[in-house]
Chain A
């Protein structure tokens, strides 16, 4: 028997009718996309459970935690430092932005040529169907791309509390000083919200928890280098997506448990696809739940995705935070150093990103790269050209795809992806 969460959703102010419709679509999409994959690792049952309870049990946990005085911080970006949130006994959650919902409503506030991700989170907020948003004590907006930066000016009226964090556009000394000041301001804001003080011990503990979570993802990435691939790209992406929702300690345990299983599979030469299956690396814009469109097309067409160079993927998880600092300032500096390494396309120049793509392709034995750009996402779409030329020059076949959350171009995408896989097969 499943628990009746409707009273909780009602208390959170959700529109129950619209929310039911969303869960219905999400459930059947998940079923079609994930549960029918052959040879899934047994450990994926944990993630199936998390997804089936993503608006249920996890929200109840948040509501219960709030009753004990903990604060929930909602965010849209990997630049929001989870270490600081945890140090103040808060909980960081990613907010819903991966599907079209109430697009017509969103377009009353935003131009039509706004990227699907921004329109998505407006739609979820306007239709009152994102329980994470409702459960959040504060939403953090970050000045990354122009679209988000300007959208937050409108979004602030749709949510009770929005804290906007400024970010630099270059990794200069001045840029570093800005992000240092902004992380300090964010910490001070959270101190006030939680009524708690940031301590060296608390921050160290926060760093340790997040480092453990990221290390588990690094371990997963190393195992995905095996041929035959021990886990599908869809399941790999799903774990990167759940990263943003789940309790960090429990999540780390579950990822490590799957890694144990994958190690045994690799030893037995067992995989989800046959040995020699064409291997593809995805690079580009983030894919938030339930944006599984392109990966599903790729793996149905007979290739396996071995990694994601994305915010929901290795761009977001790749560096650890140094934990040797003895003072708050030293630890905050270490956090800033770590976040400033993120190869986000809002930075100019952003040359480390293409180096990272090539490193990933080499480590994961990918034969080709599919660059995924969300329509109207200028930073990644503009960067796609130079990235593609550089990769092709280095002998890495690259396919550039620009799309959104709509389903009407699935046929065209299939053609491109199938032709690209034929090219990889030679």
Chain B
């Protein structure tokens, strides 16, 4: 059977198609201001026997594609990560507007999860805004943090205050690379504090769009004192989890 999983996130929409247990399609598009149109484009021409949706737009998607089954991002990412890394015990997931830490039982079952507060601190959106304040593109921002030998320290976790902190650091003549590294470090320590709410045990899997950022991955690994496993295509793990969940439900 062909099972589709769609993850309608705040920054990107991800579609994964699984056929007889093998991934045959992975597609990612920016969410933009018309998520339904993006969903339509992604599923157009894709033949599937079952579809499972997740992400903040999951209920909106179901309203337009009523055959959809809906699961939470927590469950979706747990199923996806457990399939990619057998025996996965902990997941750190950083997306556009959410970050979360999950403790699993080794068989994909969620034992405990914690998520960020209602603010953007410790999310992809936070990194994006700081990159903009530093006039970097996403790639330049990561590369700059990689080059820096030391980090400026950022004390504020609030996106708005952190932005003005970045601006005043620039005004004081601080090196942009060092500010970039400082921003990464502040996110890493925020995530480590969040992960403190669940028991962190190996293997620890890092997923979500921000797992594409190798500098952030190494800093989080240091902060939680465990190696992180970053799967191939970490951004589509929840969508993959949805597709696999659809297969399991049909059995």
Contact = CB atoms under 8 A, between A and B. Distances in A.
Given A409-B118, A411-B56, A412-B98, A419 B112 contact: no
A370 to B, nearest CB: 13
Contacts of A408: 118
B112 A392 contact: yes
Given A411-B56, A422-B71, A416 B115 contact: yes
A247 interface: no
A419 B109 contact: no
Given A411-B56, A426-B109, A419 B98 contact: no
A414 B74 CA distance: 12
A402 interface: yes
Contact of B113 (A411, A412, A414, A423): A423
Grouping DSSP codes into helix (H, G, I), strand (E, B) and loop, the A interface class, with mixed when no group exceeds half, is helix
B62 interface: no
B72 interface: yes
Nearest to A421: B72
A408 B59 CA distance: 16
A411 B71 CA distance: 14
A242 to B, nearest CB: 30
A419 B74 contact: yes
A422 B72 CA distance: 8
B249 interface: no
Nearest to A397: B112
A168 to B, nearest CB: 33
Interface in B9-67: 56, 59
Contacts of A411: 56
A289 B72 CA distance: 30
Query: Looking at chain A, what size class is its interface with the partner chain?
Result: 10 to 19
A408 B56 CA distance: 13
Nearest to B54: A415
Given A419-B110, A426-B109, A402 B117 contact: yes
B73 interface: yes
B75 interface: yes
B176 to A, nearest CB: 33
A415 B118 contact: no
Nearest to A411: B56
Contacts of A392: 112
A397 B198 CA distance: 12
B73 A415 contact: yes
A418 interface: yes
A412 B118 contact: yes
A422 B117 contact: no
Contacts of B74: 415, 419, 422-423
A54 to B, nearest CB: 30
Contacts of B71: 418, 422
Interface string B173-216: 00000000000000000000000000000000000000000000
B117 A415 contact: no
B186 to A, nearest CB: 21
Contacts of A426: 109
A392 B197 CA distance: 12
Nearest to A408: B118
B56 A415 contact: yes
A417 to B, nearest CB: 9
A13 to B, nearest CB: 37
Chain B CB within 10 Å — which of A397, A403, A412 has the most? A412
A423 B115 CA distance: 15
Interface string A389-422: 0001000010000110000110110111011001
A426 B56 CA distance: 22
Contacts of B73: 415, 419
A415 B102 CA distance: 14
A418 B62 CA distance: 15
A344 to B, nearest CB: 25
Contacts of B75: 419, 422
B56 A419 contact: no
Chain B CB within 10 Å — which of A397, A403, A411, A415 has the most? A415
A282 to B, nearest CB: 19
Contacts of B110: 419, 422-423
Interface in B74-98: 74-75, 98
A415 B115 CA distance: 10
Contacts of A423: 74, 110-113
B159 to A, nearest CB: 15
Contact of B118 (A397, A403, A414): A403
A403 B56 CA distance: 18
Contact of A415 (B98, B109, B111, B112): B98
Interface string A145-159: 000000000000000
A21 B183 CA distance: 45
A412 B73 CA distance: 11
B11 to A, nearest CB: 14
Contact of A419 (B72, B111, B118): B72
Contacts of B111: 423
B205 to A, nearest CB: 17
B113 A419 contact: yes
Interface string B113-124: 101011000000
Contacts of B118: 403, 408-409, 412
20 contacts: A402-B117, A412-B56, A412-B98, A415-B73, A415-B74, A415-B98, A415-B115, A416-B115, A418-B71, A418-B72, A419-B72, A419-B73, A419-B75, A419-B110, A419-B113, A422-B71, A422-B72, A422-B110, A423-B111, A426-B109
Given A419-B73, A422-B71, 13 more contacts: A392-B112, A397-B112, A402-B117, A403-B118, A411-B56, A412-B56, A415-B115, A419-B75, A419-B110, A422-B75, A422-B110, A423-B113, A426-B109
Interface of B: 56, 59, 71-75, 98, 109-113, 115, 117-118
Interface of A: 392, 397, 402-403, 408-409, 411-412, 414-416, 418-419, 422-423, 426
- Closest CB pairs A-B (n = 9): A419-B74, A419-B72, A418-B72, A409-B118, A422-B75, A423-B110, A411-B56, A415-B72, A422-B72
